[in-house]
Amino acid sequence: MALRRCWRFSGVVPRLIWSRTVLLGASLPGGRSLESSLDSLTRPGCKTAELLLRRFTSGPPSTDVSYDQLKQLLAGRKSVVIDVREPWELREYGFIPGSVNVPLGQVNTALQLLPEEFKEKYGGEMPQQTDNIVFTCLAGIRSKTALDTAASLGYNDVQHYPGGWQDWVKNEQHS
C-alpha cells in the first residue's frame, strides 16, 4: 500500500520542479492538494520520494576545496584548476602554479569550445564533463559563480577554492 502511494506521486515532484511555480493550496490533477501529495511522499518507508529528492538536489554535498586539498589535487594532477580572474590580476598579484586562466566572463563560452580551440585560446587542456574542475579567483566569490556556470553546462565534478589567491599566498608563506 505504501509503495503504491509513493509510486502514484512519483511523477508529481519532477513536474513541479521543472515545469512551473505552484502556489500552495493549488489543486493537482485528480483534485489532490500539493500539500497532501508531498505529505504522502514523505512518509517513512517511501523510498521513491527519497530517491526523487536526492536526484533533484542542486549539486554535490560539498563544493569547497581547502588549501591542503588543492595542493594534493595539483600534485596528483587529478584536477583542472581554472583561475577566473582577469589576466591583469594574474600579472599584478600572481597565480597558482598549474592553473589555467579563463576570465569569469568567458567561462560559459570557453567550456563549450572544441578542445583544440580551448587549448589555443587559454593555453591549457580543456576539461571534459567528467573531469574534476576547481575554480579559483581572488577571494572565492567569482569562483562560486563559475562553479554554478559549469554545473549548468553539465559538468558534474565541480568545486571551488573559497579562499582564492589571498588564502593561497597566506598558506604558501607559512610553508
Instruction: Enumerate the active-site residues.
Output: 137
Q: In what order do the strands lie in the sheet with 132-136?
A: 100-101, 80-83, 132-136, 157-160
Of the candidates 88, 69, 74, the one whose C-alpha atom is nearest the C-alpha of residue 124 is 74
Cβ pair 41, 7 in contact under 8 A: no
Query: Rounded to whole angstroms, how far apart are CA atoms 159 and 60?
Result: 9
